[in-house]
Amino acid sequence: EPYIPKYVEVNYIEGSNDKKWSSVNFPWTKKLEANNKKVFGNHSFRPNQREVINATMSGYDVFVLMPTGGGKSLTYQLPALICPGITLVISPLVSLIQDQIMHLLQANIPAAYLSANMEWTEQQEILRELSSDHFKYRLLYVTPEKIAKSDVLLRHLESLHARELLARIVIDEAHCVSQWGHDFRPDYQGLGILKQKFQNTPVLALTATATASVKEDVVQALGLVNCIVFRQSFNRPNLLYSVIPKTKKCIDDIDKFIKDNHFDECGIIYCLSRMDCEKVAEKLQECGHKAAFYHGSMDPTQRAFVQKQWSKDEINIICATVAFGMGINKPDVRFVIHHSLPKSIEGYHQECGRAGRDGQRSSCVLYYSYSDYIRVKHMISQGGIEQSPFPSGSNRVNIANSGRILETNTENLLRMVSYCENDVDCRRLLQLIHFGEKFDSANCKKTCDNCLKIKSFIEKDVTDVTKQLVELVKSTRQQFSSSHILEVYRGSLSQFVKKHRHETLSLHGAGKHLAKGEASRILRHLVTEDFLVEDVKKSDIYGSVSSVLKVNEYKAKNLFLGGKTIILRFPSPVKASKLSKSEVAPAKGSLISGKLSPQIDSPAQPQPEVDLNLS
């Protein structure tokens, strides 16, 4: 059944900039500080923790957007400890709940959980305890399906509420409410019932990932009306971002990059497949680095051993799939390198986030080739991609509609492609837009490759070019790759293109005034904006796949109906060509060695055939 939230007018109150919430004069301040130290063993509060606690304890509905590891749990566990009554926490995963309860019990905070796969007698025991007026529990954790399916639980909550013993309702991982999020869980949508039933009970919704539309969805579905929003910037000023064209000698480039910039320092190289991890580690060992690999096929003791060696600096480079990363708190990771395309911007941001926890400058370098896109896309469609265990992977979602997940995954991947293809806009801006955060690229201060090289840019109306490209794809009967289309469009006279020339006569060479990089950026824009679709064609003879461009008739129609103009930003050609080597090549120890020349005329075109021989 499709999800149509009842739209309510929401009054958001930005809490982050309101000094009121940082006050140390709330009636509970002393208790708060004492318990934070004594029970939780923390010396101080992390950014926004005090503010969120003060707002929720003042009785408001609060929406918290805080990066993973920022310390969201404390913002409800500490109030749970000092407010009368019980705090109800909705959390998506039993394993996560069990982990939290273990920590709470270790700190002597009585807590319980209810889940569908628990013994009924055990559940009854807990519910019976809650019927007493002097129950011992401070927190009750439940999975969302419990709320959706258990009338017994709802009746107990009503009784608690009637006795004024329902202190607070916490929705952890609140982005699971939204279909736009990467972790959609249908049972989260039913949680609106809580606010309907318990209007005066404060709700605290927490997440590490919410675009503007996800936030809107969450607030609507939960029925929050006057909602204080606390968000902190996801920008990491000490991380330097760059994207580099990936060539056949990528590993040599990585070797050189590390030797030039981070010799003997600690880093992570994220690889797509298990085989890649082993290959990259082996090559780097040959180059004299202390490297090891880490992936899901290794047995747990082996994995733990490698991780320990790395933590103790016996190994400084770890070549890993995204399975590596959870719970890693090594502060001095100086570089995160992506050997292939990450599968979403959220994932990329999180993986990069493992660098520079100590606040020192660290590098995030992504080696990008369009053929990796085809490879990742194929792996996603086969379900063969190794996922991070939690929290960025959509592997947590197990709903019938897997087609929709595939669509979301593909869309996320396309956003990542467009991020890599973009050689104009600030990398920080591009990442932060994704988290619903506006960023002024002047604040980047040339700490990303695009800001470093671009002096000025011009906007061009490329509507006519886009129309021609769509026409061209149509007239070649939608059976050629993007690189072929580009060759034809720019008037190449290669044998293959000549052979098919009769089919494309009128548009052959229509785009010869464009630089190759410009034409390809426009074409990719058409793909990322869904006017054209990349289809994967598997060749039976060689077992390899190639990509074929097709027209999305539905969307493309709008392009020709008129009224739609497409504008793209390009580096100003005059300024770009003036860019001298010395301006481009960074000083020692800065962003990247050597590779920053503008890509506009780079021959970075994909090989149409991609080897999919993965482990």
Q: Is the dihedral of CA 139, 143, 145, 149 positive or negative?
A: negative
Q: How far is the CB of 296 from ligand ADP (least distance, A)?
A: 22
Place of tokens 């009585």: 110
Site for Mg ion in 56-115 (CB under 5 A): 72
**Interacting residue with ligand ADP among 35, 73, 392, 412 (CB under 6 A):** 73
State the number of binding residues for Mg ion (CB under 5 A): 1
Q: How far is the CB of 36 from ligand ADP (least distance, A)?
A: 7
**Location of structure tokens 């008129």:** 562
CA-closest candidate to residue 65, choices 248, 216, 167: 216
Rounded CA-CA distance 317/310 in Å is 7
Q: Does 45 bind ligand ADP (CB under 6 A)?
A: yes
Phi-psi region of 117 (alpha: psi -120 to 50; beta: other; left: phi over 0): alpha
Considering only 16, 58, 68, 150, the residue that binds ligand ADP (CB under 6 A) is: 68
Q: Which does 101 bind (CB under 5 to 8 A by kind): Mg ion, Zn ion, ligand ADP, none?
A: none
Q: In degrees rounded to 5, what are phi and psi of residue 392?
A: -85, -15
Per the listing, tokens 């994220």 go with 270
The string of DSSP codes covering 402-460 is HHHHHHHHHHHHHHHHHHHH--SS-HHHHHHHHTT----GGGG-S-BHHHHH-S-EEEE
**Closer to ligand ADP by Cβ: residue 96 or 514:** 96
Q: 33: Cβ–Cβ under 8 A, 6 or more apart, which residues?
A: none
The alpha-helical segments, DSSP class H, found in 201-313 are: 212-222, 250-261, 274-286, 300-311
Task: Give the closest residue to 406 by CA, choosing from 386, 431, 434, 378.
Answer: 378
With CB under 5 to 8 Å by kind, the binding choice for 448 among ligand ADP, Mg ion, Zn ion, none is: Zn ion
CB of 328 to ligand ADP, least distance (A): 12
Measured from the CB atom, the residue of 45 and 368 that comes closer to ligand ADP is 45
Classify residue 263 as left (phi > 0), alpha (psi -120 to 50) or beta.
beta
71 binds, among Zn ion, Mg ion, ligand ADP, none (CB under 5 to 8 A by kind): ligand ADP
User: Which CB sits closer to ligand ADP, 49 or 466?
Assistant: 49
Shortest reach from residue 133's CB to ligand ADP, in Å:
31
Contact between 141 and ligand ADP by CB under 6 A: the answer reads no
CB 229 within 8 A of CB 16: yes
Rounded to the nearest whole angstrom, what is the least distance from the CB of residue 178 to Mg ion in the complex? 17
Q: CB of 39: closest distance to ligand ADP in angstroms?
A: 12
Distance of closest approach, residue 93 Cβ to ligand ADP, in angstroms: 13
Task: Tell me: does residue 444 bind Zn ion (CB under 5 A).
Answer: yes
State which residue, 280 or 426, has the beta carbon closest to Zn ion.
426
CB of 391 to ligand ADP, least distance (A): 8
Order of all β-strands in the sheet with 291-294: 239-245, 362-368, 333-338, 266-270, 317-320, 291-294
* Binding flag, residue 79, ligand ADP (CB under 6 A): no
Q: CA 346, 432, 345 angle in degrees (round to 5)?
A: 25
Query: What is the crossing angle of helices 402-421 and 427-434, to 10°?
Result: 160
Nearer to Mg ion, 204 or 269 (CB): 204
- Which of 53, 57, 66, 591 is close enough to bind ligand ADP by CB under 6 A? 66
Residue at 156: amino acid letter: H
Provide CB contacts within 8 A for 525, sequence distance 6+.
418, 462, 466, 566, 568
By CB under 5 A, name the one of 451, 454, 523, 576 that touches Zn ion. 451
Out of 376, 426, 507, 533, which residue is the one contacting Zn ion (CB under 5 A)? 426
68 interacts with, out of ligand ADP, Mg ion, Zn ion, none, CB within 5 to 8 A per kind = ligand ADP
45 binds, among Mg ion, Zn ion, ligand ADP, none (CB under 5 to 8 A by kind): ligand ADP
Of positions 10, 16, 39, 46, contacts ligand ADP by CB under 6 A: 46
Of 74 and 219, nearer to ligand ADP (C-beta) is: 74
Phi, psi (degrees; rounded to nearest 5) at 72: -70, -35
The distance of closest approach from Cβ of residue 94 to ligand ADP in the complex, given in angstroms and rounded to an integer, is 17
Partner that binds at residue 434, options Zn ion, Mg ion, ligand ADP, none, CB closer than 5 to 8 Å by kind:
none
Q: Which does 239 bind (CB under 5 to 8 A by kind): Mg ion, ligand ADP, Zn ion, none?
A: none
Among 448, 549, 568, 600, binds Zn ion (CB under 5 A): 448
- Give the Cα separation of 61 and 57 in Å (integer): 10
| Nearest distance, CB of residue 229 and ligand ADP, angstroms | 16
What whole-number distance in Å separates Cα of residue 453 and Cα of residue 446? 8
Give the binding range for ligand ADP (CB under 6 A) out of 39-47, 148-156, 480-488, 542-550: 39-47
> Residue from 16, 29, 42, 544 that binds ligand ADP (CB under 6 A)?
42
Tell me how far, at minimum, the Cβ of 348 lies from ligand ADP, in Å.
Answer: 18
Separation between Cα atoms, residue 330 and residue 301, nearest integer Å: 20
Please confirm whether the linkage preceding 391 is cis (ω < 30° from 0): yes
Interface residue list for ligand ADP (CB under 6 A): 42, 44-46, 49, 66, 68-74
Interface residue list for Zn ion (CB under 5 A): 426, 444, 448, 451
Interface residue list for Mg ion (CB under 5 A): 72
